[in-house]
Amino acid sequence: MIFNKTEEQEKDYLQRVIVLLRNTINNADQSIKDHVDTLQEYKDYLWSNKDIDPHEIRSMRESILNHFAIGENVIDKRKRLGKILDIPYFGRIDFKEKKEDSIILPIYIGIHAFNDPSSRLSLIYDWRAPVSSMFYDNEIGEASFPTPLGQIAGKISLKRQYRIRNGKMEFMIESSLTVHDDVLQKELSANADDKMKNIVATIQREQNRIIRNEDARNLIIQGVAGSGKTSIALHRIAYMLYAMKGDISSGDILIISPNKVFADYISNVLPELGEETVPETSMEQILSNVLDNKYKYQNFFNQVDELLSKPTDEFIERIQYKATFDFIAQLDRFILHIENTYFKARDVKLTKFFTIPGEYIEEQFRRFNRYPMRQRFETMTDYILETAHIQYRITVTAKERTFLKKEIRGMFAGNNDIQLYKDFFKWIGKTEMFKMRKNHMLEYMDLAPLVYLHIALEGNKNKNRVKHLLIDEMQDYSPIQYKVIQKLYPCRKTILGDASQSVNPYGSSTADMIRKAFATGEVMKLCKSYRSSYEITNFAQKIRANAELEPVARHGGEPQILQFDSERDEITGIVELIGKFEKSGYKSLGIICKTELQAKHTWEKRKACTNKVYFLWNQSSAFVNGVIIASAHMSQGFEFADVIVPQVSDKNRCSYIDRSILYVAVTRAMHKLTLTFSGDCTELIGK
């Protein structure tokens, strides 16, 4: 017999669950109030009785701490229950274990678990629970799920999915094969909202395997545009916080994100899943911090902008060379060269009667080779003076000790990072590969190699508590950057991106290159694109073909390519398209330009016609819903219901990097895509 067989029965059951949830929440509220009142009573008692026995004070302190801990747990439970009141669950499977006397168990699955307060029976299972994995991985028929004692095998006899909003069941889908697909299509047909949302109700089988992968130390996710890789990575974090509770917390996780706006865009996902937000940073900030923020440097955004607006062959060559593994090998050989040649020991006259021979100092430099070179000086000084005291009864003053350490440090010719880096290019015979900008500014591609040298000589002083590192837009970082990251963060990692979406193809990395940089790693692929309609995906394939990409079977209108007589007419045309968008019912429009300068120019030009447009630039920190104008680089990771890509002329879109940038731009579109130009259209889109 099927529990809650009909949709009406399911609706009645939902309301009963909601009543239980509300009662439990009310009880939690009362419990919190009671704990607050009790703590206040303790406080008042201590304040009014200053001469009470120390033993009583100690006892009361323990009671206060216990009440505080219990109260925190109640508050945490109250928060979780409050989050599921509107949508208690989204799916159900009926499972019968393969053993005697087993019964069919209806398993309702939601964002959080909920037990009947009176019977203690599980009414809702957390989507991350082992038993819930069957909902994502199996259809009706034979199934199993993992437990600490081994696999539990059985059979799924029913599978349903629900859409519940504000405590009301909008529909129920029951199918043996297409339960996910049907709901997924309904969700994909919706408009893009202001920020990324959780996708627990529509997680696909291949995505679930990534989320629940606990074996890979370095998990590298190669996902095509629109495959949901960032969302999946965030759900993976939520899963780990659940599965490894007690071993890892949100504060132990760090996200390397492409920009502050993107960090804001994804900021809702983990709180929706009942987890705290995790710290985020940028690659440049990490690298600069290692160098104590001593140097001015070109950031990645400015590097890309230069490649798009005014590249030179020499600039491109420098980027390409420093993104090779040969470059890393040369650096390693140079570090060995420093070890062998940069320390020139000499005699040190420490006192009137005591001179330390240079040969002996050289011997100690070699003795302590397990230390990074610049860390040896302190240890060498202590060892030399301790030996002198033991063997010769020589005692020195603090001033003499400082003098000796300074003298030993002065024997090493590698104390200046920049000079060492210059020496490296001279040593390999490629002095043209290093160019300092105006005002002693480093080029972006020099920051990581400089840190690599610094760590080799100084050691890793980055004492952090990071237990899991998440790196987004993996394709935009070079092998030397990954080598540095591995030295700074020798923890588990989730790395995700798409080699086809690099905004700097001259210095990018593929999944295989990243695995090589870490010397180990498991590559998992997401090949199905869910974001864009079938027509938009096919159009993007003409710009940059990806044989592995599988478009979702969701159809829409064909992308439009509009020609205008002049740039002024094109701006007027874009304003008219904005007007059509405002009447369309879509919630988001992205106007994706080639460069930030062009984006700013477009934004300023349309101000005479409409003010309902937000300019997203590299200093922005918040994502705003509505109409956004941005460069393709700034739009990475975002999606819009409607997208306009202006200035797709042959003059503006003609280089090797333009193909990557244009591909990024068009793959932001979910439902509608329009490209505009004046003059002649670029050949990159087949026109």
Each residue's pLDDT tens digit, 401-423: 999 999 999 999 999 999 999 99
561: closest CA among 618, 504, 646? 646
**Going by C-beta distance under 8 Å and a sequence separation of 6 or more, which residues neighbour residue 356?**
347, 348, 350, 384, 388, 404
pLDDT at 177: 45
| Neighbour tally for 56: CB within 10 Å | 12
646 close to 676: Cβ distance less than 8 angstroms:
yes
Residue that has been written with the tokens 């059509």 in this structure? 580
Q: Report the residue count for the chain.
A: 687
573 close to 592: Cβ distance less than 8 angstroms:
no
Cα distances (angstroms) measured from residue 282 to each of 26, 270, 288: 43, 19, 10
> Hey, what long-range contacts does 30-33 have (CB within 8 A, 24 or more apart)?
31/71, 31/74, 32/71, 32/74, 32/75, 32/78
Measured CA to CA, the distance from residue 563 to residue 682 in angstroms comes to 11
- Does residue 686 surpass a pLDDT of 80? no
Q: Mean per-residue pLDDT for 80-94?
A: 91
Q: Mean per-residue pLDDT for 172-193?
A: 59
530: closest CA among 161, 179, 136, 188? 188
Burial class (CB in 10 A: 0-12, 13-18, 19+), 197: middle
pLDDT at 80: 82
673 close to 534: Cβ distance less than 8 angstroms:
no
95: closest CA among 137, 34, 48? 137
Give the count of alpha carbons within 13 A of 147, CB side only.
Answer: 7
How remote is the C-alpha of 680 from its chain's centroid?
A: 39
Q: Mean per-residue pLDDT for 603-623?
A: 80
Each residue's pLDDT tens digit, 513-536: 999 999 999 999 999 999 999 999
β-strand partners of 104: 96
225: closest CA among 530, 511, 503? 530
HEC string of 444-473? HHHHHHHHHHHHHHHCCCCCCCCCEEEECC
Measured CA to CA, the distance from residue 445 to residue 476 in angstroms comes to 11
- Does residue 50 surpass a pLDDT of 60? yes
Measured CA to CA, the distance from residue 168 to residue 145 in angstroms comes to 31
Quickly state the pLDDT bin for 425 (edges 50, 70, 90). Answer: very high
- Does residue 31 surpass a pLDDT of 90? no
Q: Where are the beta strands (DSSP E) in 167-266?
A: 168-174, 218-223, 253-256
Residues of the chain with pLDDT > 70, as a percent, come to 94
Measured CA to CA, the distance from residue 75 to residue 52 in angstroms comes to 32
Measured CA to CA, the distance from residue 338 to residue 334 in angstroms comes to 6
Which amino acid is it at 26? Answer: N
How remote is the C-alpha of 198 from its chain's centroid?
A: 15
pLDDT at 609: 57
- SS3 call for 258: coil
Quickly state the pLDDT bin for 481 (edges 50, 70, 90). Answer: very high
pLDDT at 178: 46
- Does residue 610 surpass a pLDDT of 90? no
Tokens linked to 454? 């610094």
Write down the H helix ranges in 607-655. Answer: 632-635
643: closest CA among 268, 192, 229? 192
217: closest CA among 481, 662, 515? 515
pLDDT at 179: 43
161: closest CA among 146, 150, 172? 172
Which amino acid is it at 447? Answer: L
**Going by C-beta distance under 8 Å and a sequence separation of 6 or more, which residues neighbour residue 108?**
88, 89, 91, 92, 123, 124, 125
Q: How does the average pLDDT of the chain come out, rounded?
A: 90
pLDDT at 193: 58
The more confident residue out of 618 and 333 is: 333
Which amino acid is it at 657? Answer: I
Instruction: Name the helix (H) or strand (E) containing 482.
Output: helix 479-488
β-strand partners of 277: none
- Does residue 573 surpass a pLDDT of 60? yes
234: closest CA among 260, 272, 190, 201? 272
Task: Answer left, alpha or beta for residue 519, where phi above 0 means left and psi between -120 and 50 means alpha.
Answer: left
Task: Answer left, alpha or beta for residue 125, where phi above 0 means left and psi between -120 and 50 means alpha.
Answer: beta
- SS3 call for 347: coil
281 close to 426: Cβ distance less than 8 angstroms:
no
Q: Output the CA torsion sign for 209, 210, 216, 220.
A: positive
Each residue's pLDDT tens digit, 334-381: 999 999 999 999 999 998 889 999 999 999 999 999 999 999 999 999
Which of 53-57, 178-182, 229-233, 478-482 shows the lowest per-residue confidence on average (mean pLDDT)? 178-182
Measured CA to CA, the distance from residue 450 to residue 468 in angstroms comes to 25
Measured CA to CA, the distance from residue 36 to residue 30 in angstroms comes to 10
Residue that has been written with the tokens 């140079």 in this structure? 334
pLDDT at 290: 95
Residue that has been written with the tokens 């938009």 in this structure? 536
Tokens linked to 441? 């500014």
Write down the H helix ranges in 158-221. Answer: 179-188, 205-211
